[in-house]
């Protein structure tokens, strides 16, 4: 069952529109004027027929052409006012919703990204929000205006003949039943349609991101098939919605035709008894014909309404997604870098087996701690607890004797720099990527960081130097250059705690040696946590921690652990054995 009722969604949308009450009021005023011109035109027909073809008219006929022009000028001006004001408000609400969604994406926990695909998120921010705005525009410009128009025309029709009007109203409940019946079906179809649209977005996003893998592994046929299947699903749901929607309009129009036929018959009877003039009857028919347009638009609004409601539910679910913890102590100075793991345990949501258990480790300021172990041993999970990406399920982690749960996340993360195996760069300049997160970049520090990461020579050879655009995720750079740029970003931040997760894995031997020298300098005076599959890169660590199945099995220096001939010695000899092939540490 949906967590969002129509009432809940409309209340939230009303709150978004509240700041723009004045402009909405002007738009509503335009609708009132537009609606008022409909019965006015019908009334002009009455005057013209009752006075234009008799010898002694009771109304000055020269006013009729002026009234016609005036009515359409008023309608044009009011329509412009309504359209402009509603679109102005709609674009503001659209921007607000997208901003709220983007802000939420920045503040959600890591778990959110594990359960929501990139395509689904992009689809919500770009496509589903647009569906909401289309629904709002339909509701305001179509429903409100049409209701006002229907009310005005029905009022005029009652004024002319209440008997004829009752006949017209007999079929109204049947028309509403048709609309309500299709509404439920359209809502379900629209929710399913949003899901298949998200799947297609995901296919496109993955294909654009994985071009090299697709070409090397011959995945073109498979990707074409995936795209074709997703596109066909969209076409299938589109046709089901079209058939459902298309059936509503002709049924409504047939009911209108039946009502009109009945009224013509009754009107002729009343006219034969002198109860209606020719002007009354023709103007009533004109009002009745004019009534079909807003009623048809009201029938057609059901489709956008159901699409918008399904989209609004998805959008508000995203906006309401749980965020990371807020509040906490603000650190007013640079941390010393003392880290203590006290009986730390952690389990991923929905998994019974703990990823970490009974972790006890005290790290002095400036120490370099290396984590090694087989894949899945808990190395990355453990370092991800330090910046608060996840919260411990047992025990606690302390920074300078303060539990990190008591420190605000912004303050905590300000003390940490990170370089990971999966480098993330932004489609911006080299300088902007190095100084990322600094609202007032220092050019001297940028150049010093680039030099320390052995990038200065490469940057100097570029025509635009530090202002060179690097492309999507650094696509214009080599793998080693991308890795060193990520290191330069960490060097620029100059944080007291450094996390290196396979930081040199993408470098060739020569580049690794050069960068390792820079890293050795960077690590001086900083508490550093290193994850490395190549054991040769961590031999000089202060201590090496061997993890297996989420627990610490050995701690010591490289030489100490080799002399023990335990788990670390086995890993070390396995890696350097001539018979070892592609063993992931």
Q: Has residue 179 got a pLDDT over 80?
A: no
The class that CATH gives domain 423-494 is: alpha beta
Q: Judging by beta carbons within 10 Å of its beta carbon (0-12, 13-18, 19+), is residue 461 exposed, middle or buried?
A: exposed
Q: Contact 450/468 with Cβ under 8 angstroms?
A: no
Three-state DSSP class for residue 556: strand
- Picking from 361-365, 476-480, 529-533, 581-585, which range would have the lowest pLDDT averaged per residue? 581-585
pLDDT digits (tens, 9 = 90+) for 281-297: 788 878 877 877 787 77
Q: Has residue 447 got a pLDDT over 60?
A: yes
Round to whole Å and give the CA distance between 125 and 117: 13
Q: pLDDT at position 187, please? A: 67
Backbone phi, then psi, for 363, in 5-degree steps? -120, 125
What CATH superfamily is the domain 7-319? ABC transporter type 1, transmembrane domain (1.20.1560.10)
Q: pLDDT at position 581, please? A: 42
Q: Which residues on adjacent β-strands are paired with residue 547?
A: 552
Helix axes 220-272, 172-209, angle to 10 degrees: 160
CATH 1.20.1560.10 residue spans of the chain: 7-319
Averaged pLDDT for residues 542-562? 92
Round to whole Å and give the CA distance between 518 and 110: 31
| Short-list 330, 317, 410, CA closest to 107 | 410
pLDDT digits (tens, 9 = 90+) for 232-285: 888 887 888 778 777 777 776 777 777 777 777 887 887 777 778 878 878 887
Rg of the chain, C-alpha, whole Å: 35
Distances (CA, A) of 566 to 42, 373, 375, 533: 97, 12, 18, 18
Distances (CA, A) of 454 to 471, 481, 509: 20, 9, 14
430 Cβ contact list (under 8 Å, min separation 6): 450, 455, 459, 462, 465, 466, 467, 468, 470, 485
Residue 6 has which token pair?
């129509």
Q: Label residue 216 by pLDDT band (50, 70, 90).
A: low
Distances (CA, A) of 238 to 19, 229, 241, 315: 36, 14, 5, 21
| Short-list 397, 401, 376, 379, CA closest to 388 | 397
pLDDT digits (tens, 9 = 90+) for 318-362: 999 888 888 899 998 999 999 999 999 999 887 888 999 999 999
Three-state DSSP class for residue 497: strand
Q: Has residue 67 got a pLDDT over 80?
A: no
pLDDT digits (tens, 9 = 90+) for 34-47: 888 888 877 777 77
CATH 3.40.50.300 residue spans of the chain: 423-494
| Short-list 51, 120, 528, 472, CA closest to 283 | 51
Q: Has residue 299 got a pLDDT over 80?
A: no
| Short-list 455, 544, 453, CA closest to 490 | 453
Exposure string of 33-48, with b = 16+ CB inside 10 Å and e = fewer, is bbbbbbbbbbbbbbbb
Considering 191-195, 251-255, 490-494, the range whose residues carry the highest mean pLDDT is: 490-494
- Picking from 112-116, 130-134, 246-250, 275-279, which range would have the lowest pLDDT averaged per residue? 246-250
Question: Is the model more confident about 466 or about 238?
Answer: 466
Q: Has residue 540 got a pLDDT over 90?
A: no
Q: How far is CA 123 from its chain centroid? A: 6
Q: pLDDT at position 484, please? A: 86
pLDDT digits (tens, 9 = 90+) for 372-403: 988 888 998 999 999 998 999 999 999 999 99
């Amino acid at each position: 069952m949906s967590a969002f009722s129509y009432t809940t969604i409309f209340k939230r949308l009303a709150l978004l529109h509240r700041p723009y009450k004045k402009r909405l009021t002007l738009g509503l005023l335009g609708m009132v004027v537009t609606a008022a011109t409909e019965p006015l035109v019908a009334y002009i027909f009455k005057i013209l027929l009752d006075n234009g073809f008799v010898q002694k008219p009771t109304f000055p006929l020269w006013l009729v052409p002026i009234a016609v022009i005036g009515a359409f000028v008023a309608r044009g001006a009011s329509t412009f006012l309504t359209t402009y004001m509603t679109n102005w408000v709609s674009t503001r609400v659209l921007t607000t919703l997208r901003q709220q969604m983007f802000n939420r994406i920045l503040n959600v926990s890591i778990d959110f990204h594990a359960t929501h695909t990139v395509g689904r998120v992009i689809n919500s921010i770009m496509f589903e929000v647009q569906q909401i705005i289309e629904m709002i525009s339909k509701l305001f410009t179509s429903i409100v205006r049409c209701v006002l128009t229907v009310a005005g025309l029905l009022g005029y029709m009652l004024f002319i003949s209440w008997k004829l009007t009752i006949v017209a109203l007999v079929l109204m409940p049947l028309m509403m039943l048709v609309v309500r019946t299709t509404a439920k079906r359209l809502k379900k179809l629209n929710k399913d349609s949003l899901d298949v649209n998200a799947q297609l977005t995901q296919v496109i996003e993955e294909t654009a991101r994985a071009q090299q893998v697709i070409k090397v592994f011959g995945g073109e046929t498979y990707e074409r098939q995936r795209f074709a299947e997703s596109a066909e699903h969209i076409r299938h749901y589109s046709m089901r919605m079209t058939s459902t929607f298309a059936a509503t309009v002709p049924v409504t129009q047939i009911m209108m035709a039946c009502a009109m036929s009945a009224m013509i018959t009754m009107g002729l009877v009343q006219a034969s008894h002198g109860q209606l003039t020719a002007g009354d009857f023709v103007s009533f028919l004109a009002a009745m014909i004019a009534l079909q347009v807003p009623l048809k638009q009201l029938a057609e609004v059901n489709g956008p309404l159901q699409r918008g409601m399904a989209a609004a539910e998805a959008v508000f679910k995203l906006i309401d997604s749980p965020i990371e913890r807020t509040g906490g102590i603000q650190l007013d100075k640079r941390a010393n870098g003392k880290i203590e793991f006290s009986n730390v345990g952690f389990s991923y949501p929905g998994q019974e087996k703990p990823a970490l258990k009974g972790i006890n480790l005290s790290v002095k300021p400036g120490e370099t701690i290396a984590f090694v172990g087989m894949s899945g041993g808990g190395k990355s999970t453990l370092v991800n607890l330090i910046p608060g990406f996840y919260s411990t399920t047992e025990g606690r982690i302390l920074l300078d004797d303060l539990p990190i749960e008591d420190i605000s996340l912004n303050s905590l993360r300000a003390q940490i720099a990170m370089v990971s195996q999966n480098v993330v760069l932004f489609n911006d300049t080299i300088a902007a990527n190095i100084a990322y997160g600094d609202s007032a970049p220092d050019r001297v520090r940028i150049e010093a960081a680039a030099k320390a990461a052995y990038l200065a020579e490469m940057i100097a050879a570029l025509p635009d130097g530090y202002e060179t655009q690097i492309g999507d995720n650094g696509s214009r750079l080599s793998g080693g250059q991308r890795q060193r740029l990520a290191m330069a970003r960490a060097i620029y931040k100059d944080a007291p705690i450094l996390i290196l997760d396979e930081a040199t894995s993408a470098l060739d031997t020569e580049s690794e040696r050069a960068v390792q020298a820079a890293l050795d300098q960077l690590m001086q005076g900083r508490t550093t946590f290193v994850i490395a599959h190549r054991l040769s890169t961590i031999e000089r660590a202060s201590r090496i921690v061997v993890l297996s199945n989420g627990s610490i099995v050995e701690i010591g220096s490289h030489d100490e652990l080799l002399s023990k001939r335990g788990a670390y010695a086995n890993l070390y000899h396995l890696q350097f054995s001539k018979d070892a092939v592609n063993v992931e540490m």
